[in-house]
Chain A
Amino acid sequence: MRLIIREDPDAASAYIAKYIIDRIKAFAPTPEHPFVLGLPTGSSPVKIYKILVEKYKAGEISFENVVTFNMDEYIGIPREHPESYHTFMYKHFFSHVNVHPRNIHILNGNAPDLEAECVAYEASIKAHGGIDLFLGGIGPDGHIAFNEPGSSLASRTRVKTLAYDTILANSRFFGNDLEKVPKMALTVGVQTVLEAREVVIIITGAHKALALQRCIEGGVNHMWTLSSLQLHPHPMIVVDEDATLELQVKTVKYFKSIEKVASSQGFEQILPSTVRTGPRKEPVEPVPEAKEEPSILSPQPVTSTLLAAPATEYPVRSHTPELVPDRMGSRITAY
């Protein structure tokens, strides 16, 4: 885990923006070998987008060969709705830079078959060779994307019902009318995020201090879905001073010293050199293994998969089996 602490949200955002730009540049993406970037919406990343746009306009970075995947989208509001995440991304980022619309992937909350949309999204990520860098933010309850507290840490892209807290919080964008707030969303799963080669999270503000504390100092817990990041081989969390309010002084000092020592020794806290510089090999088409669906007779512990992260393949999200009522009599051994 890398925890980067900066004075204020501006400095934290600037750090991440610079980091993303450096990563894309080092990657030297080409049309055949694009950089795959996962993107969030919300208030915390707005400043990051602003800096990225500035740097693009200053000619310091091009997004021509960048493929993007967004985290989530509401279900049932029009794509051009002012609060849709399509609109957010267009307004804050896509309309200002040269990401080609062909390279943009955002879940379609109006798809006729939402389940199929989710499966296709996962397949599309896989077909692009996986996500190189997933940028994210969190909610005050530690949720990443729309993976609300209690979401499975092995979850994949799926339909998600929003927590009441989230609906309440979002009602301010919908004229304070709870009826108008979408109750469901499509979101990437925790596992989808963890599969990215790198995950970068921005957390700013005192109201998120408790979430940061739970996710770093607490154990892996599905009530704070970001805590799953502890299982990722290469996560980075960038925070401002306010967000560290709930952390132990020891924790803060430790992470600050890591950064200080690393820079004094002349190496930055970035990815291992092979990942950083080596041209990515041809993405290997994963051979779908015939995996048995976990059942009540042969349960499959989720942690076994989690601990093996980054796993390269996972079963496509299992559908809830149809309820087929049987006769009670059939369960009783006849004497």
Chain B
Amino acid sequence: MPSAIAASPRDRITKFTNCRLVKGDVLVEQDLWVSSATGRIVRSQELFYGAKAVPDETIDLGGRIISPGLIDVQMNGAFGFNFSQIPEDPLTYEKTLRQVNKSLVQTGVTSYLPTITSERREVYHYALPFLGPSKGSQVAEHGAESLGAHVEGPFLSPTKNGVHKVQNLITAHSFADLEDCYGASNLNPTPDPLTGIPRAPQIKMLTAAPELGSMTALIPDLTARGIVYSMGHTEASYEEASLAVSHGCTMITHLFNAMRPLHHRNPGVFGVLGRAESLPRPYFGIIADGIHLHPTSVKIAFNAHPDGFILVTDAMHLVGLPDGVYAWTNGEQIVKRGAKLVLQGAEDTIAGSSITLVECVNNFLCWSGASIPQALRAVTATPAAMLGLQGVKGSLESDADADLCVFSEEVGEAGGTRLVVDQVWKFGTKVFDRLE
């Protein structure tokens, strides 16, 4: 059986030199060693003195920037594939998903949370088993890697539904309601069939309105399972939002959008970014596509809590497709006009974006005057920390996964700096090169 002969993993050590590494808020001129065998960043000094090893290949990057691979924690689909839509032939779902992962990695996104919007329970039961974390199988050729699914709904406020279909929105009163909706096996850690070691649930992040039903009281049940609770699509007042935070809410889904605006007598969800309470401040997602938010709002949010600032795309499956009318779930239609997506018949309702994550970074760079490492942190180290993956993802420190982006800088139209993805590396292996 030819399949039994496993191709020996190339233990290849690559050294990047003449490069600037994104570390914290600064760019550090330092070499970086990665191993394709372990898929990690190498403790180079230890290997050098201990194993007396030298790199198999040295790559001179000519002063370019190395960043950890980008992480998108809210992405509804891409390249014509919608994670929330079960194809007519359900068997093609997994196959198409693989294709999407391979294409997605070329945009610099090396790991992400595939996001399902508010759907009927059958959709969750069908799709979530495919969208769970990749469980340690480190195959660079698979492309972008899921860190677990993000379920945005259906426990959302019917008055802040955005493009989510109101008929699908429900209210949870107990954890059993959540299990019924998503499927118990997708919410709970399951033992590995081979080793018996519990594996993380398929769901990594859950967006819900905290004021509905018993949702706030259910937050500790979710966090105990390693699931991040994020508030969004909510009518929560400042007090309700603070209560959610005190129960373990650590994230806000697309801040400003689908929630009450900041009012000076009730600051709403935005208020929890203030420093007044003795509560930890949550992380928050920001869609920097130039449509969802005014640039100044983005800047205010960043300055309110830079350490919690996460850029997300909220991208739809229409990324990269031409303008026109496309099918949306539940038989509705969506209109794409440039990067703008609106619901047909309700054209003042934004229906997600069609922007890539690196474009969000470039927008943010252009609007805010933030430094390049600050902007990249919002799509690397900060989302990794939000997901509890600090030091594994979104990091260039030794032993972190060797998911890398090589950026060159260009002068943008407005005169500011634009980053261009030159190379993408996944688990220590090059998976994309713009110049090849």
Contacts and interface: CB of A to CB of B under 8 A. Distances in A.
Interface size class of B (residues with CB under 8 A): 10 to 19
A94 interface: yes
A94 B15 CA distance: 14
Contacts of A86: 45, 49
A87 B48 CA distance: 11
A57 B53 CA distance: 20
A79 B49 contact: yes
Contact of A101 (B31, B43, B49): B49
A100 interface: yes
A104 B54 CA distance: 13
Nearest to B15: A95
A90 B48 contact: yes
B43 A94 contact: no
Which of B17, B45, B46 gathers most chain A CB within 10 Å?
A: B45
A302 to B, nearest CB: 36
B20 to A, nearest CB: 15
Contacts of A102: 52
Interface in B34-72: 43-46, 48-49, 52-54
Given A80-B43, A95-B44, A90 B52 contact: no
A90 B54 contact: no
A90 B45 contact: yes
Interface string A74-115: 000001100000110010001110001110101000000000
A101 B45 contact: no
A95 B31 contact: yes
In this complex, the member of A57, A86, A100, A101 whose beta carbon has the largest number of chain B beta carbons within 10 angstroms is A101
A95 B52 contact: no
A106 B45 CA distance: 13
A95 B54 CA distance: 9
B43 A95 contact: no
B46 A101 contact: no
B134 to A, nearest CB: 31
A90 B31 contact: no
Contacts of B52: 100-102
A94 B52 CA distance: 12
Given A80-B43, A101-B54, A95 B49 contact: no
Contacts of B43: 80
A103 to B, nearest CB: 9
Given A100-B54, A101-B53, A94 B48 contact: yes
Q: Which of B18, B48, B53 has the most CB of A within 10 A?
A: B48
Contacts of A80: 43, 45-46
Contacts of B53: 101
Interface string A48-79: 00000000010000000000000000000001
Nearest to A91: B45
Nearest to A78: B46
Contact of B45 (A57, A95, A96, A100): A95
Contacts of A101: 48-49, 52-54
B54 A87 contact: no
Contacts of B54: 100-101
A57 B17 CA distance: 11
Contact of B49 (A57, A90, A96): A90
A72 to B, nearest CB: 16
A138 B44 CA distance: 30
30 contacts: A57-B18, A79-B46, A79-B49, A80-B43, A80-B45, A80-B46, A86-B45, A86-B49, A87-B45, A90-B44, A90-B45, A90-B48, A90-B49, A94-B48, A95-B31, A95-B44, A95-B45, A95-B48, A96-B17, A96-B31, A100-B52, A100-B54, A101-B48, A101-B49, A101-B52, A101-B53, A101-B54, A102-B52, A104-B49, A106-B49
Given A80-B45, A90-B48, 8 more contacts: A86-B49, A95-B31, A95-B45, A95-B48, A101-B48, A102-B52, A104-B49, A106-B49
Which 10 pairs across A and B sit closest by C-beta, in order of nearness? A101-B52, A90-B45, A101-B48, A102-B52, A80-B45, A95-B31, A80-B46, A86-B49, A79-B49, A101-B49
